[in-house]
């Protein structure tokens, strides 16, 4: 892949526009556009370093080589956080359902089991994004 393709893919995966990336990393937006369009094919290391930092990746993921990270690692931090939160919520719901069941609170137990199933669905959808 070229630098332009790698940068475009990383921006897409992180849901970042060139104007936003410019503000985040301090690289002028016209410079980012020149890289994305291929007008600039060999940007300075200083520019690549700023772009990489703004995207939360290593510089070698932007330069002319295939991306080395797994799809899970390139998910936006928000999606990763959502997946982690859903996993924690499932664990918490399982604990609460065991307590409710132990105390004989059947309506609460059934409600919690339903919530647990719904969170599992969300977790599965988030996990499906990594494929």
* pLDDT tens digits along 3-40: 898 899 888 888 899 999 999 999 999 999 999 998 98
Sign (positive/negative) of CA torsion 94, 76, 55, 69? positive
> What's the pLDDT tens digit per position in 33-70?
999 998 988 899 999 999 999 998 888 888 865 545 55
Residue 69, H or E segment: none
Superfamily of domain 3-67: lambda repressor-like DNA-binding domains (1.10.260.40)
Question: Does 130 have pLDDT greater than 80?
Answer: no
pTM for the predicted model, two decimal places: 0.51
How far is residue 125 CA from its own chain's centroid? Answer: 14
Write the CB contacts of 34 (distance below 8 Å, at least 6 apart in sequence): 40
What pLDDT is recorded for position 105?
Answer: 83
Q: 99: which 2 tokens?
A: 């307590």
Give the pLDDT score at 70. Answer: 56
Look at 78 and 121; give whichever has higher pLDDT: 121
pLDDT value of position 67? 47
Q: What is the pLDDT of residue 74?
A: 56
DSSP assigned state of 17: -
Angle subtended by helix axes 18-25 and 45-55, to nearest 10: 100
Per-residue model confidence (pLDDT) at position 64: 61
């Amino acid at each position: 892949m070229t630098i332009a393709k790698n940068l475009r893919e990383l921006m897409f995966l992180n849901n970042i526009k060139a104007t936003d990336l410019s503000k985040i990393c301090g690289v002028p937006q016209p410079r980012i556009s020149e890289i994305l369009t291929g007008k600039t094919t060999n940007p300075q290391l200083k520019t690549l370093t700023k772009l990489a930092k703004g995207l939360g990746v290593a510089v070698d993921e932007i330069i002319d080589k295939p991306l080395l990270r797994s799809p899970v690692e390139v998910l936006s931090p928000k999606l990763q956080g959502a997946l982690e939160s859903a996993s924690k919520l499932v664990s918490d719901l399982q604990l609460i359902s065991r307590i409710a069941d132990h105390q004989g609170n059947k309506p609460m137990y059934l409600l919690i089991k339903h919530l647990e199933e719904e969170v599992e669905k969300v977790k599965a959808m988030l996990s499906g994004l990594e494929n």
